[in-house]
């Protein structure tokens, strides 16, 4: 099952009022969940609606052909909660379908000069990194976005000239590190109208799509990962991959007649209860830092959704980096990844709660002319 976020993303107006577009992807049960007595806690009703912890009497709710009975969480306060989003993707959905329904329209928008962001949010093991990065056999959204971007630029090459630059960083234990170059920890600065910048972050100009994807692969190999009890390859850092697109009209002949837009593709580390990580010491500390930064992100989402004057971006390095994406001059897509298993009932509800609030975040965006 697939949805679409295309409406309103690729419009040509110079200034637009834009809400964060929110999609939810429900992953399939994994081997660990299949080997336990966990039950399905999420029902995808259609491509825009899902039900959290559905009622027992819903005769159409089956898992592997078996009616879900004898539920052990009947007293949960949020039982049978309905959530509506811009798009909802069922467990059988592919990365290609998620890309088509969320990020493909972002490519058009960034080529029209709008800054755009796509970020995956959810608990550890919920499928964020699979959605954003995928595998060689099943590429994720970043790969599909890059290929579509270069395809669209090729179509426009007769009238437009393009220059692409990329950067890749991670936030680990509240330190910012360049994933494309050896460096000391980097500093985040707010440059007023120019937005948030990272001092010393390398900016690389790739020679085509394959070179860009090689940079992505190299950056991924430098990213901090450690196994936890819930995820054998848990990303322990937040990763921000950014593509700058500078374009000009071939007919103008003026070197200063150009526009630059930025596309940010973000894979967040997953929240995880300390007792669930299976670690103490350094692993426990990094888990606490991840949770604190995600709590700060949740507080910013709450403040923006409620229209508060003060938004606590400075509470973490992550929220400072996401300031433009959340409340700045940027069109943003949030992909909330959830597990359907009752084992992760609390994590799934928290993810859906923040995704539901994020729908209310609105900003005025203009293309970078």
Residue 274, pLDDT score: 52
Residue 238, pLDDT score: 94
With 0-12 CB in 10 A as exposed, 13-18 as middle and 19+ as buried, what is 27?
buried
Residue 295, pLDDT score: 93
126 is annotated as contributing to ligand binding = yes
298 is annotated as contributing to ligand binding = no
Residue 310, pLDDT score: 96
| SS (HEC) of 254-312 | CCCCEEEEEEEEEECCCECCHHHCCCCCHHHHHHHHHHHHHHHHHHHHHHHHCCCCCCC
| pLDDT tens readout for residues 109-137 | 999 999 999 999 999 999 999 999 998 88
Nearest residue to 53 (alpha-carbon basis) of 37, 72, 32, 30: 72
Q: Which two tokens stand for residue 249?
A: 């009209």
Low-confidence ranges of the chain (pLDDT < 70): 1-14, 56-77, 226-235, 253-256, 272-280, 368-369
Percentage of the chain beyond pLDDT 70 is 83
Going along the chain from its start, the domains and CATH numbers come out as 15-366 (3.40.850.10)
123 is annotated as contributing to ligand binding = yes
Residue 42, pLDDT score: 95
Residue 14, pLDDT score: 63
pTM, 2 dp:
0.87
Residue 265, pLDDT score: 96
192 is annotated as contributing to ligand binding = no
355 is annotated as contributing to ligand binding = no
């Amino acid at each position: 099952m697939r949805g679409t976020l295309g409406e309103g993303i690729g419009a040509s107006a110079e200034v637009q009022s834009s809400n964060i577009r929110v999609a939810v992807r429900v992953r399939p049960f994994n081997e660990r969940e299949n080997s336990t007595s966990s039950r399905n806690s999420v029902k995808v009703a259609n491509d825009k609606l899902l039900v959290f912890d559905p009622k027992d009497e819903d005769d159409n709710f089956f898992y592997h052909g078996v009616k879900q009975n004898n539920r052990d969480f009947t007293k949960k306060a949020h039982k049978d909660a309905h959530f509506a989003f811009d798009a909802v993707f069922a467990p059988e959905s592919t990365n290609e379908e998620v890309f088509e329904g969320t990020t493909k329209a972002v490519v058009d928008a960034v080529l029209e000069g709008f800054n755009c962001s796509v970020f995956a949010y959810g608990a550890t093991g919920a499928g964020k990194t699979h959605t954003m990065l995928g595998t060689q056999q099943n590429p994720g959204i970043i790969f599909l976005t890059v290929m579509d971007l270069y395809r669209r630029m090729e179509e426009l090459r007769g009238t437009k000239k393009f220059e692409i630059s990329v950067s890749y960083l991670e936030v680990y234990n509240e330190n910012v590190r360049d994933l494309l170059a050896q460096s000391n920890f980097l500093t985040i600065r707010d440059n007023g109208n120019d937005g948030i910048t990272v001092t010393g972050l390398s900016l690389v100009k790739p020679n085509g799509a394959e070179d860009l994807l090689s940079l992505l692969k190299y950056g991924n190999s430098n990213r901090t990962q450690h196994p936890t009890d819930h995820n054998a390859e848990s990303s322990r850092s937040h990763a921000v991959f950014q593509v700058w697109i500078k374009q000009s009209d071939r007919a103008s002949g003026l070197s200063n007649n150009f526009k630059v837009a930025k596309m940010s593709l973000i894979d967040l580390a997953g929240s995880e209860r300390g007792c669930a990580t299976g670690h103490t010491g350094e692993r426990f500390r990094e888990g606490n830092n991840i949770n604190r930064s995600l709590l700060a992100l949740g507080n910013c989402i709450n403040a923006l959704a409620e229209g508060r004057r003060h938004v606590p971006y400075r509470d973490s390095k992550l929220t400072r980096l996401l300031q433009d994406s959340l409340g700045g001059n940027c069109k943003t897509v949030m992909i909330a990844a959830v597990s359907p298993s009752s084992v992760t009932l609390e994590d799934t509800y928290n993810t859906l709660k923040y995704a539901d609030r994020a729908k209310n975040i609105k900003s005025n965006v203009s293309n970078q002319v």
